[in-house]
Amino acid sequence: MDRRTWLLAGCVLAFLVVGGGIYIGLAGQNAHGSAAYLDVEPAEGNVSANETVAFEELSPAQQELFERARNSSELVEISADLDYTVFAENRYVHYQNRTYEVAVAVS
């Protein structure tokens, strides 16, 4: 193969790698492909401050989801466009002078 063919093949490969990386990065932001659910229960025993997030630190959509799950006796489905990372990274939410244990279930 001549130099021009190698250069063209290298450009096409670079385009595919960069384009694929950008697509994967953007498609994976805050979206989840499978069903996810939130469970909220009153916390019992000692609660670690390192694993607790204040209700006020949640986004309005996350606050609404937390309140729906707190008021439900069943798992509450998390919409696909909602970033639930905060619930997965923190075990507890402090809300109105009480602490609640949160758990995310993904199917």
State pLDDT tens for residues 1-58.
688 777 766 655 655 555 555 555 555 544 456 789 999 999 998 888 899 999 999 9
Same domain, 20 and 62: no
Same domain, 12 and 63: no
Q: Does the pLDDT value for residue 107 go beyond 50?
A: yes
CB 100 within 8 A of CB 92: yes
Q: What is the pLDDT of residue 22?
A: 58
Q: Which residues are CB-neighbours of 105 under 8 A, at least 6 positions away? A: 36, 37, 38, 39, 75
Total domains in the chain come to 2
> What is the residue range of 10's domain?
1-30
Report the SS3 class of residue 54. Answer: strand
Same domain, 41 and 74: yes
Same domain, 51 and 20: no
Q: What is the pLDDT of residue 23?
A: 54
Same domain, 26 and 55: no
The token pair that represents 16 in the structure block? 């595919």
Same domain, 65 and 26: no
Same domain, 56 and 84: yes
Q: What is the pLDDT of residue 20?
A: 56
Same domain, 53 and 17: no
Q: What is the pLDDT of residue 74?
A: 93
Q: What is the pLDDT of residue 38?
A: 96
Q: What is the pLDDT of residue 6?
A: 72
Q: How many CB atoms lie within 10 A of CB 101?
A: 17
Same domain, 5 and 51: no
